[in-house]
Structure 1
């Protein structure tokens, strides 16, 4: 029996057109009834789809109808069922963010790529960093800092000069954004089990915002970040074009 497919698309006209054409060609069911969810859009829409369907058993196969498409496969309306039959699965775990604001409210969110902190005013942020309850850096003066998963290491992390991390490695990348002091500090590689706490040391004078895959929290005082292995996102890629290959290829681009 053919696998039941659900097609979801971003708001971009090119993605909506692709969804209409593919649904007419292959049929379509609701995401709750699907064996495979086909996401049409860019990387941002793929992240949104993974978050929205994380409690469903179906894996997600993306086709690029956006810009970069690092998490997507190339688009073609032909031979889709054959591509799905041959697709290889990658499993990634998100990060959990618990951000406490200066006023005391706590906000929780999940991040597939990274949790980032960025200054919200004209002055550099001042952060204190703890790992597993032990203070590791008394003061980082910077525009911000982020903790990235291997899957997200080629995104904002790489733009901030952080390392590309192999997809199969059980590590997280801690990267500074425009560090002023210590001037040459580029960050650290931490075990996946690590719990990182960012403390904003002068939030009234130097406000900082936190972000987890587009969920933004303003004026934070502390941000705790740790891996969520209990949540497994299943992504399908065409053979030879999975995340491991893409991460290696990116380093030689």
Structure 2
């Protein structure tokens, strides 16, 4: 398993049904949705809308499990945050997700609204798209399992104090962290919070964990890249406890002496991309390398 990059030749078995999930709490997105729906229908692709999205714009929809069982692929309309949420909630269905970018940065969302019509016109040819398989992180705290596409962050509960965490790899102690927190990132998430605190960028199709301390008390604490076949365990030794934040969206509380176990998930997320999408060109554009 280790640091292997997963490049698949998987293709869609059928392209006749798309399940759409919209950015939440934005009813004004309806105009864009209707335009997008028209693009799909013009290519004889039937559109099914997720029920919470549908309720938001006064349309009819389907619960998420039914949607995943019905469609050939999923479509996230919004920004990277919307896509991350969609992937986390649906990856176990095995359905690829296409990200349509209505946001700004767009590391993950592949197709802009202006590009969508052309992309769909070319979708009938398997040579014009690809499906990437990306690692998901499985976490467990207080007997609760959770999954992350980007990262799991162990953060201090109190703004006035630092957090102390003991770490083990496959049951063997390897470090003690003292600072504002720890980010356990997937390669996909390496361009998110991990990057903002000085962590390394890792090619997104790699299977690896990036463990990055946040404002560590000791300057000798550095980011660490680990093969994903390790199980990592973090035990909270601070009497203040800690928060576990999953993809910046879900929060779990952990008390003193309780542990968070991290491992690779048994299934991978699948992203539907334009064939010509190049990860390094995206980095160059978004991070303005060389400028």
In the alignment, which residue of structure 2 is the partner of 1:91? 133
Q: Is the 8 A contact 2:152 2:244 kept in 1?
A: yes
* Alignment check: 8 A CA contact 2:139 2:261 kept: yes
Q: Name the residue aligned to 1:103.
A: none
| Aligned pairs for 1:74-85 within 5 A | 74-76=112-114, 77-85=116-124
Higher helix share: 2
1:131-142 to structure 2, matched below 5 A, reads 131-137=169-175, 139-142=176-179
Scaled by the length of structure 2, the TM-score of the pair is 0.76
For structure 2, list consecutive stretches of 5 or more residues without a partner in the other structure. Answer: 1-13, 49-66
Match of 1:144 among 160, 163, 181: 181
Equivalence map 1:1-253=2 (5 Å): 3-11=16-24, 12-13=26-27, 15-27=29-41, 28-30=46-48, 31=67, 32-73=69-110, 74-76=112-114, 77-85=116-124, 86-100=128-142, 106-121=143-158, 122-137=160-175, 139-181=176-218, 183-202=219-238, 204=239, 206-213=240-247, 214-220=249-255, 221-228=258-265, 230-243=266-279, 245-247=281-283, 253=289
Give the match's secondary structure for 2:220.
coil
Shift of 1:40: 0.6
Change (3 A) 1:44 1:226: same
Paired with 1:156 and 1:128, the residues of 2 have a C-alpha distance of: 21
Change (3 A) 1:83 1:201: farther
TM-score, structure 1 as length reference: 0.87
Say which SS state the counterpart of residue 188 (structure 2) adopts. coil
Task: Please list every run of 5 or more consecutive structure 1 residues that lacks an aligned counterpart in the other structure.
Answer: 101-105
CA RMSD of aligned residues (A): 2.2
* Cα shift at 1:19: 1.5
- How many residues of Structure 1 are paired with residues of Structure 2 in the alignment? 243
Q: Distance in 2 between matches of 1:2 and 1:215?
A: 32
Counterpart CA distance in 1 for 2:36 and 2:119 is 9
